[in-house]
Chains A and B, each alone.
Chain A
Amino acid sequence: MSEKGEVDLTGAKQNTGVWLVKVPKYLAQQWAKATGRGEVGKLRICKKGNLGKAEVSFTLNEELTVIEGIEDKTVSAPREHPFTMQTVGGQTLAVFTENSSDKIALEGVVVQRAECRPAVSESYMRLKRLQIEESSKPVRLSQQLQSPVTNNYKPVANHTYNLEYDRRKKEEGKRARADKQQVLDMLFSAFEKHQYYNIKDLVDITKQPVLFLRRIYLKEILRDIGIYNVKGTHKNTWELKPEYRHYQGEEKTDE
């Protein structure tokens, strides 16, 4: 357990300061399209602004300004984005990372919060308009079918189903009764896997014919080696007699 939960505290110890910046969705999307080393733009920090405070502004790279909307409408995203700086307040915000191998590391502490706002411009308005159009489209759409659906005639009995049924009947022919030992073997191996079985499932497993006659046969065999219990769960299930059982967690003798 040494490695798994251990948090790498180097970032905290060095008191690495990071910025937490809230970025609009479209900008994040554009950033995801960045190529090469991932450069997306430039950040400019001015010490002396209008108010004597630091002014931070982000300029998006030229090639990333193209936003493609639906139906091939392309809009140009604004390039200038001033940042609004905010204080962290009393809150302590730390940043931790999780590796693909589940290693956790503390990267640092947030020292500055900022919001990235687009500079209001013509291009921004167009972008917003595009977004509104896209989002106002209804999710569901009614469409008129060109041609009526013609391939669902209702058969009396499905042709394929019929074939399958016939095949099954043939396959399940009357098994010879002499197979008793085989059936027993099959039953035991089945009971090795699960303790309780439904009669239907047993019939299925042993491939005994479902006919009344045969089921009685199977039932006889079952009565020999198993017991029938109304378990309290609504199904009536069969299980092996105690002396035949050998389950883990049950100290029973072997058959």
Chain B
Amino acid sequence: MATRNHSPGGPMFTVDYINKRDNDVGYVYYPEAEKPTTMTSLGSSTSSGTEYTVRVPKNTSKKYNIMAFNSGDKVNCSAWTQARMERDMSARRIYGEEESQDGAAGSEFGKKQREEARRKKYGIVTREFKVEDQPWILKVNGKAGKRFKGQKKGGVTENASYYIFTQCPDGAFEAFPVHGWYNFTPLAKHRTLTAEEAEEEWGRRNKVVNHFSIMLQRRFREQERGPDDEDEGEKSGKKKKKGGGRGGDLRIHDLEEDLEMSSDDSDSSMGDDGESKAKAKKDKGKGKGKKKKKKGGEHEALEDSDDGDYEGLEVDYMSDESSSDEEPEKGQPSKAEEHPKGIDEASESEEESEEEKPNEEETKEEEEEEEGKKTPVQAEKKKKKDSSGESESSDDSDIEGETASALFMKKRTPPKRGGGRGSAGSSRTGSRPGTPSIDSAATSNTLRAAASKLEQGKRPTPGPGTDSPAAKRLKMEPSSQSPAPSGKSTPQPPSGKSTPSSSDVQLTEEAVRRYLIRKPMTTKDLLKKFQTKRTGLSSEQTVNVLAQILKRLNPERKNVNDKMHFYLTE
């Protein structure tokens, strides 16, 4: 029998159960998911409204926050399979102070108190690092999924409170106050340029033809940067690098120069150079300015050519499209004074006087500038040339003897080098014509060029290798090369001569002999090979030991370009 049940509910709804056997249709009618609650009184006065209780739970341990996405991002939370979220603590080291551990070397008694007193004296107020205010990093769907950064929106809880109303199974609403509001924005997974790099590229946008190579180079740089950072003492006397580094990382300006110019402070200058080189990755060197200034000052009197020479010189580190020509030279003259002095004296050789060396540099620079003028004004070309020009003593020695990482320093002037070191003028002029073929993408050419250069050693090759403008090809080659010579010790495959340059290159007779057999080198270059940072000796010791070794080896001497070079024949 059919039974009819009438629920004892209010007048708003009826529940009818009708047995199917009666062939009637039964309805179950619930208005708006409303169910009787213990506290509600049903039967509101309005016709179709329903009442719900609102509760504000008192002591919940959970803090409610809002995660806001932009509408354009089309985020669908239900499609997430897995998510991880953590606070982004990267700002902590900015705020936090470095703590030297107690008992560790270098700690000072009462250092903290003194630091604090000092800050108070100068009125430095550091804002506290609050974990609560740090942004969130949200990673959705694992490694390959999207990433978001959630920044806290301020001012949300100041004048009005937000509450989250959720409906409970019993029909009542529960309201939770919103603790914080975070705006989540998607993070780009592809590589981007930093602000400085972007500025620089912007400045060159009219000249650069192949924009795709920008990120390519940046990737190379990053690869190099990895192994390079470890061994600081980059000998590549590339002030260029230093200048380049100004684009990207720390910029060391005045202090460095002062150190370099001071005659007694060779160590720090070398050290600084090393560091800056390690940091310097930008091949589009900016900021060579100050070096140039100095150099210009020194050698004004000697130069015949005049005003036009300094056209391309940068005075300010921010100038773009600067040619990196003069930079390395500047470094060299200053170094030249100290080291050869020591070695020459020590080895009692009556070779060139000290003046010769600076003069040597000067003449070199003169030539450089002239050539710089001659070459068509293309930023990269000029840079390449100049870098090639100046690099002779530094580059060559560096490349050949140095770590593979030095090899990757950009601006390894492509081809041209051909010449062994020393013969600055000749090799330069000889190789100059070869360079103009470099195009904008050629900075990565340098890698290839450097590779080919190593291969050929001293043979003057107008660098055919560098004439491969195709970015693809470049990509292939340098990338194949880069993994190999990663880090410190793996030498360039093609070159048989690269030393196992590691960060602790030893100043041994064997090493010197190897260098000298390969090609003639000046004392300065030899010194560059055995930088104090690498060998662990002080500069004086280096000088002494090197002098002794030279005495023992008694290499042959020849004058190249008015510079005394040592060499050995097998």
Beta-carbon contacts under 8 Å, A16-37 to B: 16, 18-25, 27-28, 31-32, 34, 37
Residues of A with C-beta under 8 A to B70:
91
Do the beta carbons of A237 and B108 come within 8 Å of each other?
yes
Apart from A7-B84, A7-B138, 10 more pairs, CB < 8 Å: A12-B77, A38-B57, A40-B54, A40-B175, A42-B53, A45-B50, A92-B77, A94-B69, A97-B65, A194-B102
Task: Tell me which of A98-106, A140-148, A159-167, A217-225 binds B.
Answer: A98-106
Given A31-B175, A195-B105, A195-B107, also A91-B62 (CB < 8 A): no
Please, what's the 1-or-0 string for B132-170, where 1 marks a CB less than 8 Å from any CB in chain A? Answer: 000000110000000000000000000111111110000
Residues of B with C-beta under 8 A to A21:
162-165, 175
A191 to chain B: closest CB distance in Å? 9
The 9 closest A-B pairs by CB, nearest first: A90-B71, A46-B49, A28-B161, A5-B84, A19-B165, A12-B77, A7-B83, A247-B105, A97-B62
B3 within 8 A of A: no
Cα separation A21 to B83 with both chains bound (whole Å) = 27
Cα separation A136 to B373 with both chains bound (whole Å) = 73
Do the beta carbons of B162 and A108 come within 8 Å of each other?
no
Please, what's the 1-or-0 string for B52-83, where 1 marks a CB less than 8 Å from any CB in chain A? Answer: 11111110011111111111110111101111
Do the beta carbons of A38 and B55 come within 8 Å of each other?
yes
B47 to chain A: closest CB distance in Å? 7
Nearest B residue to A4 via CB reads B86
**Cβ contact of B85, chosen from A5, A23, A190, A194, cutoff 8 A:** A5
Do the beta carbons of A5 and B86 come within 8 Å of each other?
yes
Cα separation A98 to B138 with both chains bound (whole Å) = 14
Beta-carbon contacts under 8 Å, B176-202 to A: 177-179
The 22 sampled A-B contact pairs (Cβ below 8 Å) are A9-B77, A9-B80, A9-B82, A13-B78, A20-B164, A22-B163, A27-B161, A38-B55, A42-B40, A42-B53, A58-B54, A90-B71, A91-B68, A92-B76, A93-B67, A95-B66, A192-B103, A197-B109, A235-B108, A245-B105, A247-B105, A248-B105
**Cβ contact of B160, chosen from A25, A47, A108, cutoff 8 A:** A25
Residues of B with C-beta under 8 A to A89:
71
Residues of A with C-beta under 8 A to B72:
90
B33 to chain A: closest CB distance in Å? 11
Nearest B residue to A42 via CB reads B51
Cα separation A36 to B123 with both chains bound (whole Å) = 50
A167 to chain B: closest CB distance in Å? 24
A217 to chain B: closest CB distance in Å? 20
Cα separation A61 to B432 with both chains bound (whole Å) = 91
Given A31-B56, A194-B103, A248-B104, also A201-B50 (CB < 8 A): no
A interface residues (Cβ-Cβ under 8 A, vs B)? 4-7, 9, 12-13, 15-16, 18-25, 27-28, 31-32, 34, 37-48, 55, 58, 89-100, 104-110, 190, 192-198, 201, 235, 237, 245, 247-250
Cα separation A237 to B507 with both chains bound (whole Å) = 34
Beta-carbon contacts under 8 Å, B95-125 to A: 102-111
Nearest B residue to A90 via CB reads B71
Cα separation A58 to B66 with both chains bound (whole Å) = 23
Do the beta carbons of B83 and A9 come within 8 Å of each other?
yes
Cα separation A94 to B117 with both chains bound (whole Å) = 46
B39 within 8 A of A: yes
**Cβ contact of B54, chosen from A43, A197, A198, cutoff 8 A:** A43
Cα separation A20 to B162 with both chains bound (whole Å) = 7
Residues of B with C-beta under 8 A to A37:
55, 57
B32 within 8 A of A: yes
Given A15-B78, A21-B165, A28-B177, also A46-B105 (CB < 8 A): no
B132 to chain A: closest CB distance in Å? 10
Do the beta carbons of B164 and A98 come within 8 Å of each other?
no
Residues of A with C-beta under 8 A to B165:
18-21, 43
A89 to chain B: closest CB distance in Å? 7
Do the beta carbons of A39 and B54 come within 8 Å of each other?
yes
Do the beta carbons of A47 and B32 come within 8 Å of each other?
yes
Do the beta carbons of B77 and A19 come within 8 Å of each other?
no
Do the beta carbons of B103 and A107 come within 8 Å of each other?
no
Residues of A with C-beta under 8 A to B58:
34, 38
B147 to chain A: closest CB distance in Å? 12
Residues of A with C-beta under 8 A to B40:
42
Nearest B residue to A41 via CB reads B54
B90 within 8 A of A: no
Residues of B with C-beta under 8 A to A93:
66-69
B7 within 8 A of A: no
Nearest B residue to A105 via CB reads B62
Do the beta carbons of B49 and A47 come within 8 Å of each other?
yes
A93 to chain B: closest CB distance in Å? 5
Residues of B with C-beta under 8 A to A48:
47-48
Do the beta carbons of B164 and A198 come within 8 Å of each other?
no
Cα separation A46 to B34 with both chains bound (whole Å) = 12
Do the beta carbons of B55 and A45 come within 8 Å of each other?
no
Residues of B with C-beta under 8 A to A13:
78
Do the beta carbons of B83 and A106 come within 8 Å of each other?
yes
A51 to chain B: closest CB distance in Å? 14
B554 within 8 A of A: no
A90 to chain B: closest CB distance in Å? 3
Nearest A residue to B105 via CB reads A247
Do the beta carbons of B55 and A99 come within 8 Å of each other?
no
Beta-carbon contacts under 8 Å, B305-359 to A: none
Cα separation A40 to B58 with both chains bound (whole Å) = 11
B5 within 8 A of A: no
Residues of A with C-beta under 8 A to B107:
193-196
Cα separation A197 to B165 with both chains bound (whole Å) = 62
B173 within 8 A of A: yes
B46 within 8 A of A: yes
**Cβ contact of B105, chosen from A39, A47, A235, A249, cutoff 8 A:** A249
Residues of A with C-beta under 8 A to B67:
93-96, 106
B44 within 8 A of A: yes
B35 to chain A: closest CB distance in Å? 14
Do the beta carbons of B102 and A92 come within 8 Å of each other?
no
Do the beta carbons of A195 and B108 come within 8 Å of each other?
yes
Do the beta carbons of A44 and B50 come within 8 Å of each other?
yes
Cα separation A27 to B175 with both chains bound (whole Å) = 12
Cα separation A106 to B63 with both chains bound (whole Å) = 12
Do the beta carbons of A198 and B49 come within 8 Å of each other?
no
Residues of B with C-beta under 8 A to A39:
39, 53-56
Cα separation A107 to B110 with both chains bound (whole Å) = 50
Do the beta carbons of A45 and B52 come within 8 Å of each other?
yes
B99 to chain A: closest CB distance in Å? 13
Cα separation A238 to B431 with both chains bound (whole Å) = 57
Cα separation A201 to B64 with both chains bound (whole Å) = 51
Beta-carbon contacts under 8 Å, B479-515 to A: none
Given A28-B177, A91-B70, also A109-B86 (CB < 8 A): no
Given A46-B46, A89-B71, A196-B107, also A23-B163 (CB < 8 A): yes
Nearest A residue to B67 via CB reads A94
Cα separation A201 to B47 with both chains bound (whole Å) = 85
B350 to chain A: closest CB distance in Å? 40
Residues of A with C-beta under 8 A to B111:
194
